[in-house]
Amino acid sequence: MTGVYNPLLVCLSLVVAFLASYTAVELSGGLNALASAKRRPLWLVGGAVSMGVGIWSMHFIGMLAFSLPIPIGYDFSITAASLFLAISVSLIALATASRGTLSHRRLCIAGTIMGFGVAGMHFTGMYAMQMSPGIEYTIWKVALSVGVAIAASIAALWLAFTLRASDAGNLVVKRLGAAFIMAIAITGMHYFGMSAANFAAGSLCLSGEKFDANWLALVVTATSFTVLVGTLALFGFHTSSLSLSLKRANRQLHYLGTHDALTNLPNRQQLALRIAQAVAECARRESMFAVLFIDLDGFKSINDSLGHGVGDDLLQVCAERLRQDLRHTDMVARLGGDEFVIVVENVADASSAAAVANGVLRRLAQEIVVDGLPLRVSASIGIAFYPCDGGNADELLHSADAAMYAAKQSGRNTFRVFEPQMNHTALKSLILQRDLNRALSDGELSVSFQPKFSVASQSVTGVEALIRWRHPELGEIAPLEFIPLAERSGLIVEIGDWVLREVCRNIALWDAQGLPAIAVAVNLSPIQFNVPDLVARIDALLDVAGVDPCRVMFEITETTAMQSIEKTSRTIEALQARGYTVAIDDFGTGYSSLGYLQRFRFDQIKIDGSFMRDLDSAGHRGSALLSAVVTLARALQIEVVAEGVETESQFRTLSELACDQMQGFLLSRPLPAAEFLAFLRGAADRVVAPGSACPRPRDEGGCRSIVGDRAGRPIRGAANRCVPRIPVHPGSRRNYPPTPPPARRPFPTPQHPRSHWQHAKAGLFS
């Protein structure tokens, strides 16, 4: 018995096969990107169901296209089993094609399993007809159809995997072509397998009444189209949603890559692009534009003293103020830290840029309140113009940066327009940075000593060690110039150790010549103070030199002390426990609270020289501020040293306020080691021994006990100390010997003008 095919249903089966193949290619190509690791199995199973339904539908439509001269039906359970086989092999196919790698061995194994599965689905579906007598098959045709199924499966998997990894153009066309080839292979295998079936004459279909063929045709066609089209639509919608999310993410990443995260201002990369655009535009129009390089004055002190949180809030407020009043053609960017740049286009002359700079200075000078704290910063601004000061972003930023440093050297809170000679300053910094590395080994560094005096008796109460650098070509280099360079290069720790060794060497020299014991103050830089083994390093250096800890005082700036309150407190306690004294330098220049004085337990406060200048310029207000500090320090039993004393009027005010000690050009400039040795010989009768002038609690003998630490533990080397026990005068407000003080010596005329003093008394690491 022979059958015939319905051409329309044959074409329909080919369309269904094509749709199923295209669904498989699409799903394998986007399955990994479509779903997260948690949801990927759900999409894999769902895709396998839709693909399996498509293949199964093609099979049954193809069978329905074949008609026999007898009624034909299909057993439901066997038909369902064939559908399960189709879904199973589809799951294998999608799982294989969506893997990260596909070896030849895995491809062949998966293709063979899939081929047998498709063939099994086909012949299971044929068995659902329940023919009597049974269908007889031509063995070689069956074997060939299975071979075709395996070959088609391997080819389909290879195409799906290859196209999944393809990033070439016309990808949709390639996938359509692959789906068409797969559809031809699948339908070809089906109809070749159908040709292997032989129906005996007079055969009957025992399933004719169980499942009507016409109804099955309608259900299969509708279901397959619904599932496949729905899957593709859902996949397309989800892919579009993913694409939109990806585009949004890319835009966000691009924004983050070109903008500063803290202030949302354009960053250096975006600034360079904007300057390049401005250069091209101005070159075409033969016009000019300006670049304003802005550095905030006083920001570092606030950031170090009050914390990075306050510093970040301050930067955000400053960024918002910089945005104000800018034209839409201008741009403000943040380079990093406290540095900003404004690009001002279409400037007619320098006055236009100057007007913008003045506006920036005016806005930034206004008080800023952060966390209830009133803060003030200013700005130093450098201005460079295209094309006269540079032809590209690097040149213009370099010129504007040099002008900004010139503004800082002019007193800050101002702006400067770039001039060619400003490059000399930048070049000098590079030279100093290079030469500083050899300055130590070549003996170019030296230590000078500036004495400290009692305000009441003018006795010598101590001395401060100050580093100096005589460059072989540039001459004397001010500490304010080379100390920041040493800090940036990391050489500051090595230089600090060298200074301490020089101090110990000089102390040993003074002792060897029988001169009176005197305490030497050594400055610690912020970087040096934060070295983890600071106390151990100091102990090792003094042990080698044989110097007692009571002979050395360490000075740290107010800003350094406020960087980390807990760490500062622990370090100070560790130093004091070993017998060293600790002073806070440049007090009054930072943002620390006076309450921290009691917490830190400093041995000495050094009031910044700006207070002394205020005594002459601010009158009663200046002396009131100084009086408040002295009164508080006396209540806390902390010595007070006034720095930068240059005039007799300043001295008289300090005497009236009962300030403990003073230091400045009025009595002595910083002296080289040899000159200070001669000074010490001449002032031997006026030297106060270490510890005897301290207003801290004292023992019965009249002097603070310095043979034990604050817990009463013996201090290393206490037996060798040469500190005289000076009795306390019972009726005196101050703890000085009861003998009448020597007659006041006439004050020498300051040996250098004020500007020179500012360099000389910069301090070692201030």
Convert the pLDDT of each residue in 503-513 to its tens digit: 999 999 999 99
Amino acid, res. 685: D
Angle at alpha carbon of residue 153, lines to 152 and 155, rounded to 5°: 65
Provide the pLDDT confidence category of residue 101 given band limits of 50, 70 and 90: low
* Strand ranges for 613-728 from DSSP E: 639-642, 661-662, 671-672
Produce one character per residue of 625-643: b if its CB has 16 or more CB atoms within 10 Å, e if not: bbbebbebbbeeebbbbbb
Residue 24 tokens, joined: 């498989």
Contacts of 333 (CB under 8 A, 6+ apart): 260, 265, 266, 267, 268, 270, 271, 274, 340, 341, 342, 343
pLDDT at residue 743 tops 90: no
Q: What pLDDT was estimated at residue 235?
A: 52
Q: How confident is the model at residue 410 (pLDDT cuts 50, 70, 90)?
A: confident
- Segment 478-484 mean pLDDT: 86
Distant-in-sequence, close-in-space partners of 366: CB < 8 Å, separation ≥ 6:
321
Residues 552, 555, 560: CA angle, nearest 5 degrees: 145
Q: Is 3 in contact with 10 (CB distance < 8 Å)?
A: no
pLDDT at 90: 76
Tokens of 498: 């060298």
**So what's the pLDDT on residue 224?**
63
In the structure, what pLDDT confidence band is assigned to residue 441 with cuts at 50, 70 and 90? confident
Question: How much is the pLDDT for 225?
Answer: 62
* pLDDT band, very low/low/confident/very high, at 761 (cuts 50, 70, 90): very low
The pLDDT of residue 540: 94
Residue-level pLDDT at 318: 94
- In this prediction, residues 666-685 reach a mean pLDDT of 93
Pairing assessment for the beta strands 445-454 and 414-417 based on DSSP bridges: unpaired
Written as one string, the DSSP assignment of 51-80 is: HHHHHHHHHHHHHHTEE-SS--B--HHHHH
Identify residue 10 by its one-letter amino acid code.
V
Return the pLDDT at 523. Answer: 94
Q: In this predicted model, what pLDDT tens digit does every residue of 237-259 receive, in sequence order?
A: 445 555 565 566 677 777 777 88
Q: What is the pLDDT of residues 544-597, one digit of tens each?
A: 999 999 999 999 987 778 767 788 888 999 999 999 999 998 786 655 556 667
- Region of poorest pLDDT, from 205-214, 448-457, 479-488, 614-623: 205-214
Examine the pLDDT at 489 and tell me if it is beyond 60.
yes
| Res 723 pLDDT > 60 | no
Higher-scoring residue by pLDDT: 764, 281? 281
pLDDT beyond 80 at 219: no
Q: What percent of the chain has pLDDT over 90?
A: 29
**Where are any strands of DSSP class E within 630-756?**
639-642, 661-662, 671-672
Domain 444-760, CATH number (from 1.10.10.10, 3.20.20.450, 2.30.40.10, 2.60.130.10): 3.20.20.450
CA 633 to CA 80: how far, in whole Å? 95
Q: What is the mean pLDDT of residues 31-48?
A: 61
Report residue 573 as tokens.
Answer: 């306690």
pLDDT at residue 453 greater than cutoff 90: yes
pLDDT band at 699 (very low <50, low <70, confident <90, very high): very low
In whole angstroms, give the CA distance from residue 157 to residue 151.
10
CB-CB neighbours of 695 under 10 Å: 18
For residue 440, the model assigns a pLDDT of 84
> Which pLDDT does position 14 carry in this prediction?
80
Question: Is the per-residue pLDDT at 378 higher than 80?
Answer: yes
pLDDT at 735 over 60: no
Residue 145 is encoded by which pair of tokens?
Answer: 């159809």
Listed in sequence order, the residues at least 6 apart from 445 whose beta carbon sits closer than 8 Å to its beta carbon are 439, 467, 468, 469, 495, 498
Q: How far is CA 419 from CA 256, 499, 641, in A?
A: 35, 38, 42
Q: What is the mean pLDDT of residues 377-394?
A: 92
Q: Does residue 759 have a pLDDT over 50?
A: no
Q: Give the integer Cα–Cα distance in Å for 40 and 33.
A: 9
The pTM (predicted TM-score) of the whole model is 0.51
Residue 202 CA to residue 7 CA, distance in Å, equals 25
- What are 57-84's pLDDT values in tens digits? 777 777 777 777 777 777 778 888 888 8
pLDDT the model gives residue 201: 79
Is the pLDDT at 729 greater than 70? The verdict is no
CATH of domain 268-420: 3.30.70.270
End-to-end CA distance of the chain: 110
Does the CA dihedral 750-751-755-756 come out positive or negative?
negative
Query: What does the pLDDT read at residue 670?
Result: 94
pLDDT score, position 188:
78
- The model's confidence at residue 677, banded by pLDDT at 50, 70 and 90, is very high
- Say yes or no to pLDDT of 746 above 60: no
pLDDT at 671 over 90: yes
Domain ranges within the chain, ordered by starting residue: 4-245, 268-420, 444-760
* Mean pLDDT comparison of 184-193, 211-220, 270-279, 293-302, highest-scoring range: 270-279
Which tokens hold the place of 362?
């005016």
Q: Is the pLDDT of residue 607 over 70?
A: yes
* pLDDT value, residue 293: 96
Give the number of other Cβ atoms within 10 Å of residue 92's Cβ: 19
pLDDT of 135 higher than 50: yes
Does pLDDT of 347 surpass 80? yes
pLDDT band at 497 (very low <50, low <70, confident <90, very high): very high
Cα 546 versus chain centre, distance: 45
Mean pLDDT in the chain?
78
Give yes or no for a contact between 458 and 686, defined as CB atoms under 8 angstroms apart.
yes
State which of 303-312, 658-667, 687-696, 698-707 shows the largest mean pLDDT: 658-667
Residue 39 DSSP class: T
pLDDT at 187 over 90: no
